[in-house]
């Protein structure tokens, strides 16, 4: 989402003044970048997130919420002896 919004912003700036260091030689190119970024942002916002389901409840929250949209896993590796 953020990449699309940044491209819309860059395209709008390119409409005001072509950004030659990005390869925008004409204002029309800035408009194309802004519109395409906006279209991709709208498509990304309208697409539904996939549903994850638990096969076997491992905790009490799995009983209350067996299906969810977002899954996040964290880990930390610690290099130390077990002593």
Supply the pLDDT for residue 24. 86
Tell me which residues of the chain have a pLDDT lower than 70.
Answer: none
Length, in residues, of the chain: 83
Q: Do 25 and 68 contact (CB within 8 A), yes or no?
A: no
Residue 18's closest CA among 3, 7, 29, 8? 29
Structural domain boundaries of the chain? 2-46
Q: Report helix angle 27-46 to 2-16, nearest 10.
A: 160
pLDDT given at position 75: 93
- pTM for this model (two decimals): 0.58
**Residue 26: both structure tokens together:** 């004409």
Strand, coil or helix: what is 28? Answer: helix
Residue 31: closest CA among 9, 11, 45, 8: 11
Model pLDDT, residue 44: 85
pLDDT at 55: 82
């Amino acid at each position: 989402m953020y990449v699309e919004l940044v491209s819309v912003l860059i395209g709008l700036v390119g409409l005001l003044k072509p950004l030659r260091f990005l390869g925008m030689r004409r204002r029309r190119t800035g408009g194309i970048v802004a519109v395409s970024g906006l279209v991709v942002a709208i498509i990304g916002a309208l697409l539904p997130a996939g549903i994850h389901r638990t096969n076997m409840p491992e905790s009490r929250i799995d009983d209350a919420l067996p299906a969810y949209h977002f899954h996040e896993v964290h880990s930390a590796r610690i290099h130390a002896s077990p002593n």
